[in-house]
Every structure is written in C-alpha cells, then in structure tokens.
Amino acid sequence: MTRFAQFLAVDWSGAKGPRQKGIAVAFAQATGGPPVLFAPPDPKGWARGEVLALLAGLEVPTLVGLDLGISLPFHDAGSFFPGWDASPSDARGLWALIDGLCVGHPHLEAGAFLAHPEAARYFRHGAGVEGDRFLLPGAATREGRFRLAEHAQRTQGVRPVSNFNLVGAAQVGKSSLTGMRMLHRLGGRVPVWPVDPLPDEGSVVTEIYTSMAARLGGVTGAATKLRTYEGLNDALDALGSPPVKGTGAIDDHSSDALLTAAWLRRVHTERALWHPEGLTPDVARTEGWTFGAF
C-alpha cells in the first residue's frame, strides 16, 4: 500500500522570463482516477517561484517528480568542475554555488552563473561554442560528460543529453541549472531523494525523465513526445490509468506531466527503483539519481 496521497509531475523549463509556457504541473491521486493538470496562476504560464511555493506548501504526502537534472557529473573526474578551486564537494553545495552566483537575478534564471568566467569554461554554449573544459582530456565523444544515472538511462533505451550541453531542443542543461536554484531555495523543507535519504513519511522530491515514463507507457521509436490526446490516452491505458478528457492536439509539456504523474503512481512501490545497483551513498550525495533508472 502506498504511503503517498498523490503524485505530482513537473515538466520544467530553463527559459528566460517571468513566466514559462514550457512548465506544466500535473497530479494523480493515489486513490485512482485520471491525472489532472494544475492550471497556472496566470494565463501566461507558471513562474518558477510559484512552483517552488507549491512544493514548499504541500499539505499531504506527495511524491514529486521534477523533469530536470538535480546535479552535474562528478564521478568521471572526481569533481563537478575539475581545475576550479570553488568546485563543491556535493550536490547541495553545487545548488548553493549556482544560486549564490545568481543573487539578484530574477525568475530563478541561471544566466549569471553561466556568464561567470570560470563556470563558463565547462559548458557548451552554442553551435561550435564550447568552454575549454567542456570535455575531459581524452574524451571518446563530443557529447560531453554524463552522470552515472544517465549512463543507466541509456541502457534502458533513452538518450539523455549532457547537463553541460546548453544547445539543441533536447538539452536540459538550462532547465537543470534553474531547477538547482529552486532546490536550494526549497531549503530542506521537502527531502530531495537520493541526495537526502528516503523518509518514512511526508513528501519527497525526485528527479524524473519523462521519456522513461513514455517508454513504460508503450511509446516506441526515437521520439517519445505525445502530441495528441489519443496518443496520450493510449499510453495512460498501458499504465493502468483512466483516460483524460480531450481530443486532437495537446502540447507535449502537458502530456509529459500528465503521463509522468500516472507513471509515478504506477511504479513507485517497486523497491528496485529506490535501490538501483549503481546508487552508492557517495553517488547519492554528489550526482543524485533519476527515479526509474537502474
């Protein structure tokens, strides 16, 4: 039996500006029923600070999935930023560093961090524009660095992009950095698994990858985005969830959140997902993990 009353999925955005059309929030009740979208407080979309307030104010035990990277690669080099003496020793230190270098910059944006002369050296900023430390010496590919959880994801048939890569439609680097600012501001009010141990009660925040939920929902092929209600409801049916109302087109941010809320409800009791083979205590405190990767 679940100890959670609801399952909340957030499709996040790292874009500039006060409100984001790319943020979608959906929940699924533990008692059943179709997943439901939370309407943003403003027709122009969610503000990242409003999502932060939502998480900080959860009133019932909730498993929260955030579609972003909660940390950066560490174990491939023994450091987030090898060669930079300010490089933190764990994920919470990383969140504090990013937020600290962005003090005074609104909307939880991370541009000030990426403009820092040392931090900038580790990221791919544009086509052909890379910091001199984007790749480790002797790197086998030009893709950039990956966390252990992202290597695990690849064995499961999805293709995560390095969080140090800020280029392309599939990149989640900017989303991850703005999300780390939010996690720092959350300030321990809700544990972030596995950086924090899984508590026996109360709410928990996890990292999710919506493509993995889509795979379990029966979505095959290279693309995992669902852009019709019919496709979304087929995937929900594969997860044992009732359908959502609607026909025709749906934006993929909403479908990602709706599907992943139902997926969290379906799989959260699977013990193996909370105890993946590669998740050691040291990995947990530095790189974190993606719920569902094993």
Residues 75-122 have pLDDT tens digits of: 999 999 999 999 999 999 999 999 999 999 999 999 999 999 999 999
Strand partners, 129: 126
Average pLDDT, the chain: 95
6-70+186-274, what's its fold? Nucleotidyltransferase; domain 5 (3.30.420)
Q: What is the pLDDT of residues 247-288, one digit of tens each?
A: 999 999 999 999 999 999 999 999 999 999 999 999 999 999
pTM of the model: 0.96
Quote the pLDDT of residue 223: 62
Q: Decide if 86 contacts 118 (C-beta within 8 A).
A: yes
Q: Which residue has the tokens 């541009």?
A: 111
pLDDT, one tens digit per residue, over 174-212 is 999 999 999 999 999 999 999 999 999 999 999 999 988
Residue closest to 259 by CA, chosen among 11, 69, 2 = 11
Do residues 37 and 254 make contact, with C-beta atoms less than 8 angstroms apart? yes
* Cα–Cα distance list, 106 to 13, 17, 73, 102, 148 (Å): 15, 8, 26, 8, 32
* Residue 214: per-residue pLDDT: 83
- Distance, in Å, from the CA atom of 207 to the CA atom of 55, rounded to the nearest integer, reads 14
Torsion of CA 217, 221, 223, 224, to 10 degrees: 10
Dist. CA 48–CA 183, nearest whole Å = 11
